[in-house]
Amino acid sequence: MGTNDRSENAMFELTGFQRDLLYVIAGSDQPSGQEIKERIGKDVGEVNHGRLYPNLDALVEEGLVEKGQQDRRTNYYKISEEGWQAIERRREWEDQYVSLGE
């Protein structure tokens, strides 16, 4: 399966929590894991370390998110080009079924 095939279905393969993480990262400027935890926690309640980081790692492994180092102890996350494309395709798919304001 080529990268394009995988990325076309990427959003459908994710859990709801992983999609939420992707959107939080997309709406932030290279947030750290702690910043992501705080932001998503406002909406879904407390998120523990054991839930957050394996899901962030899964997004990195899928190529939807890039992980970098802010300093020796802190990583940052940002949406990859493939991640932006997956979000765009998901929104187009949603628009087929849900039209807001029309």
pLDDT tens per residue, range 46-75: 999 999 999 999 999 999 999 999 999 999
pLDDT at 29 (0 to 100): 95
pLDDT tens per residue, range 9-36: 888 899 999 999 999 999 999 999 999 9
Q: Which residue, among 2, 5, 12, has the nearest Cα to 90 in the 3D structure? A: 12
pLDDT at 39 (0 to 100): 96
pLDDT at 5 (0 to 100): 53
Report the half-sphere exposure of 78 (CA within 13 A, side-chain side).
Answer: 8
Question: Which burial class, exposed, middle or buried, applies to 66 when counting CB atoms under 10 A from its CB (0-12, 13-18, 19+)?
Answer: middle
CA distances from 96 to 2, 9, 10, 101 (A): 26, 16, 18, 14
Q: Which residue, among 57, 33, 61, 66, has the nearest Cα to 47 in the 3D structure? A: 33
Q: What domains, with CATH codes, occur in the chain? A: 3-97 (1.10.10.10)
